[in-house]
Amino acid sequence: MQTNEFIHEYVPATQPQAPTLLLLHGTGGDESSLLSLGAQLVPGAALLSPRGKILEGDYPRFFRRKAEGVFDMEDLIFRTHELADWIAAASHDYAIDPASLIALGYSNGANIAASILLLRPEAIKRAVLLRAMVPLVPEQAPDLSGAHVLMESGVADPLIPLPQSERLAQMLRGYGATVAFQKQPSGHQLISADLVGAQQWIQQERAQIKRTTP
């Protein structure tokens, strides 16, 4: 399906008061890559999964990079606003309550989610960032006082060294976000502990959403 030029998948919720997971794939993934993971983490949740528009060779991404870990800042900023606008439009089209939206991003998807938090904080209030690093330093400090974030990082990640993930956690906290940071005994790939941690965190956030939703 295609809305506002983003190819994506949307799976409606099958459980009452279930959240919507915004699934953001890593490099080489697509709109179907994280669907099974999302369904496993929150059975019955709605799933909204766009495909990144940028191609690196044959591999979809959400923004361009100049080298491993070196981002094209002009493109990153443009794609961040583009995706944030699409999230708002898709939420309207599918009648998604913004308060129920939880972003779940892996690697490149986690980085674009972090960039949205920093540049368009109104678009995402809750996010699970799997293997994320600092995407950029915003010119204006965002107000993240209402944002809740889980970061899960591999202590032996060769692509995103642990200090880079820790720097992002520190940055988000400095802007007011509530950040849970979990170190996993792994590299860049996800392990079962990542999924257990994400599932537990999302359950806690669901309880918070229910308490604050009229």
107 is catalytic: yes
Q: Kindly tell me if the per-residue pLDDT of 68 is higher than 70.
A: yes
Catalytic member of 157, 165, 186, 194? 157
Q: Kindly tell me if the per-residue pLDDT of 43 is higher than 90.
A: yes
Domain segments of the chain as ranges? 2-212
157 is catalytic: yes
The answer to whether the beta carbons of residues 151 and 158 sit under 8 Å apart is no
What architecture is domain 2-212? 3-Layer(aba) Sandwich (3.40)
**Angle at 206 (CA atoms; ends 95, 22), nearest 5 degrees:** 50
Q: Whole-prediction pTM value?
A: 0.95
Q: Tell me, what's the pLDDT at 85?
A: 97
Q: Token pair of 149, please?
A: 């974030």
Nearest partner of 100 among 176, 214, 9, 180, judged by Cα = 214
Catalytic member of 100, 107, 115, 165? 107
Q: Tell me, what's the pLDDT at 2?
A: 46
DSSP states along 3-40: ETTEEEEEE--SSTT--EEEEE--TT--TTTTHHHHHH
Q: How distant, in Å, are the alpha carbons of 31, 57, 63, 98, 148 from that of 27? A: 12, 11, 10, 26, 25
92 is catalytic: no
Averaged pLDDT for residues 189-198: 97
pLDDT digits 0-9 by tens, 199-209 = 999 999 988 77
